[in-house]
Chain A
């Protein structure tokens, strides 16, 4: 299990932001559009420049390029590669990493089974529904066994029923794999459901989330 520490992060939209996630912890960050939620995840993934320090298990990873950070990044758009089948999408991350003797195809099958996407293996992403695409993207994200999972509103484009199904499946999956998870969302219900701890991002700074009395699923969604 991996802990994550952000120290005095500065970039265009974030100011002196610090945060610590204990190993195996799941934290949700709430914030409106434009508050810098996605920016925060992208800079942890090494996709954007920043000042400050990002540490995993106490070791700074700031100088590591994105492909060496061993993170899983899942966004609303999934970005499944349209020229590859779901199985090949999931296989791609394994091409350049050791699989401890386990055949790559077997590892792909295991990841697809984990996200209940085995039946989608032969399809191209263009043929899948939103929920199916998200299952496939999650399998691709998990197949390498990432040290940390970054979720950028991954379920927000789905209908309520599919979203709730995926939330519960995801919680079971996260607990089984014990992955440290950082989720950003604008949906308080999603944040409360998926996060063991909820924080609020406001004007580039993090604050503890205060649940407004009377906020229900209907209000939140």
Chain B
């Protein structure tokens, strides 16, 4: 039997060109990075103190930032999903702003808000909270950019849960708080997990706002993106490439985790 071809085969064929171009560019950038690193350089990078510091600081700050972003973003996303109020569209636009603002601009804004010469900065300093040019500044910058991604994704995740499930749970005797924890959060879990992964990836890669708030000091506020920047600037290319490859591997792992989650969600839905 002769197989019938796709009715839009010529259109699809034409679309393969941009696809191939994009895929080759991404692959080329990854290969170029990999080829920059020689085997002896890779071996020395494994035991490099600065690289280990940057990796450790990146993981610690990004995980803490993710926790803060989830604590702020999930309730906010829930509120935006379940309520209507005047000015909601305006508020949503404001909350989305950190996603589209250049991080350097966001960092400058936060610097002027929390600088030591401002009342807020002075107040925090009096309380012993030194946010600027410290790892705390990194967490602030990462949380700032990750929270808006978490808010948007959490809102979309709760939008996919029919509010009638919550109403049913209330009639079964579960108070709204327990309904949120036992019904709505588990039902939105796949979307919330994706929100967490995206937020974590954004926090891990944060550079611009971190540079403005925490500065670029070796072995103090040196996250992985900062290490790439510092080492490229000082001509230590191989260390910069090693840091970049670690970031790349982490990002790829998070993407794979997201795909696995989506696959598991589909499997469970049809189980």
Binding site for B on A (CB under 8 A): 42, 45-47, 65-73, 75, 77, 79, 81-83, 92-93, 95-97, 124, 126-127, 140-141, 144
B residues within 8 A CB of A124? Answer: 268, 271
Interchain residue pairs with CB less than 8 A apart (24) = A42-B167, A45-B167, A45-B171, A47-B171, A65-B170, A67-B172, A67-B173, A67-B175, A68-B173, A69-B171, A73-B168, A75-B164, A75-B168, A77-B164, A79-B165, A81-B165, A81-B187, A83-B189, A93-B173, A95-B178, A95-B182, A96-B173, A96-B174, A141-B172
Indicate which residue in B162, B172, B175, B187 contacts A83 across the interface (CB closer than 8 Å).
B187
**Known contacts being A77-B164, A92-B182, A96-B178, is A126 close to B269, with CB within 8 Å?**
yes
Question: Any chain A CB within 8 A of the CB of B99?
Answer: no
Cα distance, A156 to B151, chains bound together (Å) = 39
Cα distance, A83 to B174, chains bound together (Å) = 16
Chain A nearest CB, measured from B48 CB (Å): 45
Q: Name which of B167, B170, B173 has the most chain A CB atoms within 10 A of its CB.
A: B173
Apart from A79-B168, A82-B187, A83-B187, 5 more pairs, CB < 8 Å: A67-B176, A79-B165, A95-B182, A126-B269, A144-B173
Cα distance, A66 to B186, chains bound together (Å) = 21
Question: Any chain A CB within 8 A of the CB of B5?
Answer: no
CB-nearest residue of chain B to A93: B172
SS of B interface (majority) = helix
Asked if residues A71 and B171 are in contact (CB atoms below 8 Å), the reply is: yes
Binding site for A on B (CB under 8 A): 162, 164-165, 167-176, 178, 182-183, 186-187, 189, 268-271
Cα distance, A66 to B178, chains bound together (Å) = 13
Q: Name which of A67, A93, A140, A141 has the most chain B CB atoms within 10 A of its CB.
A: A67
B residues within 8 A CB of A68? Answer: 173
B residues within 8 A CB of A75? Answer: 164, 168
CB-nearest residue of chain A to B167: A47
CB-nearest residue of chain A to B190: A83
CB-nearest residue of chain B to A48: B167
Cα distance, A83 to B167, chains bound together (Å) = 17
Chain A nearest CB, measured from B35 CB (Å): 47
B residues within 8 A CB of A127? Answer: 271
Cα distance, A95 to B172, chains bound together (Å) = 10
B residues within 8 A CB of A72? Answer: 171
Asked if residues B173 and A140 are in contact (CB atoms below 8 Å), the reply is: no
Q: Name which of B167, B168, B183 has the most chain A CB atoms within 10 A of its CB.
A: B168
Asked if residues B269 and A79 are in contact (CB atoms below 8 Å), the reply is: no
Q: Name which of A47, A82, A83, A144 has the most chain B CB atoms within 10 A of its CB.
A: A83
B residues within 8 A CB of A81? Answer: 165, 169, 183, 186-187
B residues within 8 A CB of A45? Answer: 167, 171
Asked if residues A67 and B187 are in contact (CB atoms below 8 Å), the reply is: no
A residues within 8 A CB of B165? Answer: 79, 81
B residues within 8 A CB of A66? Answer: 167, 170-171
Cα distance, A187 to B183, chains bound together (Å) = 32
CB-nearest residue of chain B to A89: B172
B residues within 8 A CB of A47? Answer: 167, 170-171
**Known contacts being A77-B164, A81-B183, A83-B189, is A70 close to B172, with CB within 8 Å?**
no
Cα distance, A73 to B175, chains bound together (Å) = 15
B residues within 8 A CB of A67? Answer: 170-176
CB-nearest residue of chain A to B189: A83
Cα distance, A97 to B173, chains bound together (Å) = 8
A residues within 8 A CB of B186? Answer: 81, 83
Cα distance, A68 to B271, chains bound together (Å) = 35
A residues within 8 A CB of B268? Answer: 124
B residues within 8 A CB of A92? Answer: 169, 172, 174, 182
Cα distance, A126 to B186, chains bound together (Å) = 16
Chain B nearest CB, measured from A33 CB (Å): 17
Chain A nearest CB, measured from B38 CB (Å): 50
Query: What are the 10 closest A-B residue pairs judged by CB atoms, nearest first?
Result: A66-B170, A93-B172, A79-B168, A73-B171, A83-B186, A67-B170, A67-B175, A93-B173, A47-B167, A45-B171
Chain A nearest CB, measured from B135 CB (Å): 38
**Known contacts being A72-B171, A144-B173, is A126 close to B271, with CB within 8 Å?**
yes
Chain B nearest CB, measured from A137 CB (Å): 9
